[in-house]
Amino acid sequence: MSGSRKIYLGTNTKMYKNIRQTVDFVTRLETLTKDIPRDRLELFVIPSYTTLAAARKSVPETDILIGAQNMCWEDQGQFTGEISPLMLEEVGVNLVMIGHSERRHVFRENDAEENRKILAALKHGFVPLLCVGETGEEKEYGIAEEVIRTQLKVGFRGVPAEQAGKVMVAYEPVWAIGVNGKPASEDYAEKIHALIHRTLAEQFGREQGEKIPVLYGGSVNDGNAEKLIVMPHIDGLFIGRSAWDADHFNSIIRKVMPLFFQKSGTEGD
Ligand code: PGA
């Protein structure tokens, strides 16, 4: 959704940060970013399950959306070790991340499962954040575009066009994520983001498809955030390691916001 008036910036803290560390992090982040009008910025944090209740209580949801890292598609049942949408509702979670690369590749989740989770998240009023991205091997085989189109088409299967405005997408090439990751070049990311926007327009129709923000994630850092955010089809950044210190995250936010609004042709604050 190029031309967007809002930038999307968020972090997944993975299996790091206990309750106290998470509360300190979101509280500090809220203090540091309080002056930024939220009609310009959608800021979200996705911490581990055990910290969700405390995180949600410690900052207003108008300032920071709190998300879960995964969710079961069923409300209840014989699903040992899973977390139900009803349980997340009870905690007041706003967003649910679905299909993060580590869920797909370490825990072997597939597109059909991600689809059931997307539908359940929408049913319960959460914003689903669908993560897509090809592995290094798929990129080498030249099938990145096919893989990503499949992840989108199966992942959003059965989502009515009028609900498209409620979902978000993160493009996170598997080879770019984490300590061994190599960030995608801005040109490569732009090419895939344009493909994602085209596929979403195909799926939901142009008008509805354009409402879906597509964020880039995978080794975003101080050095590349500015280059990525100026690309026409990148609507935000989904950051791991470089955002886990609130002051550092805030400095990235301050750097990218004016560039994003220059690109969108609207003035930043
Ligand atoms: P990274 O993580 O920024 O540490 O590479 C990204 C992610 O897994 O979402």
Confidence of residue 266 (pLDDT cuts 50, 70, 90): low
Q: What is the mean pLDDT of residues 137-146?
A: 98
Q: What is the pLDDT of residues 63-106, one digit of tens each?
A: 999 999 999 999 999 999 999 999 999 999 999 999 999 999 99
Q: What is the mean pLDDT of residues 157-166?
A: 96
244: which DSSP letter? S
Terminal C-alpha separation, the chain: 20
For residue 5, what pLDDT band results from cuts at 50, 70 and 90? Answer: confident
Mean pLDDT across 226-234 = 97
**Residue/partner pairs of 208-213 with CB below 8 Å, 24 or more apart:** 208/161, 208/162, 208/164, 208/165, 209/164, 210/1, 211/1, 211/164, 211/165, 212/1, 212/164, 212/165, 212/167, 212/168, 212/169, 213/1, 213/4, 213/6, 213/8, 213/42, 213/168, 213/169
Instruction: Give burial (CB, 10 Å; 0-12/13-18/19+) of 269.
Output: exposed
**The two structure tokens encoding residue 76:** 């209840």
Mutate to test the pocket of ligand 1, among 9, 130, 219, 237 (most ligand atoms within 8 A of CB): 219
Q: Which amino acid is at 215?
A: L
Residue 173 Cβ inside 6 Å of ligand 1? The answer reads no
pLDDT band at residue 269, thresholds of 50, 70 and 90? very low
Angle subtended at Cα 130 by Cα 101 and Cα 51, rounded to the nearest 5 degrees = 75
Residue whose Cα lies nearest atom 1 of ligand 1: it is 240
Over range 156-166, report the average pLDDT: 96
pLDDT band at 4 (very low <50, low <70, confident <90, very high): low
Residue 1 pLDDT exceeds 90: no
pLDDT of residue 265 exceeding 90: no
Confidence of residue 268 (pLDDT cuts 50, 70, 90): very low
Confidence of residue 175 (pLDDT cuts 50, 70, 90): very high
100 is catalytic: yes
- Predicted TM-score (pTM) of the model is 0.96
| Ligand 1 pocket check for 67: Cβ under 6 Å | no
* Mutation test residue for ligand 1: of 97, 177, 242, the one with most atoms within 8 Å of CB: 177
Question: For ligand 1, is residue 177 a contact (CB within 6 Å)?
Answer: yes
Domains of the chain: 7-264 (3.20.20.70)
Look at the block and give the residue holding tokens 């207003």: 60
Whether 233 is catalytic is no
Q: Answer whether 84's CB lies under 8 Å from 74's CB.
A: yes
Q: Residue type for 92, please? A: G
Beta strands in the chain (DSSP E): 7-12, 41-46, 65-68, 95-98, 127-132, 168-171, 214-217, 236-239
Query: Residue 203 is encoded by which pair of tokens?
Result: 């799926």
Which one of 114, 134, 138, 172 is the catalytic residue? 172
Average pLDDT value for the chain: 95
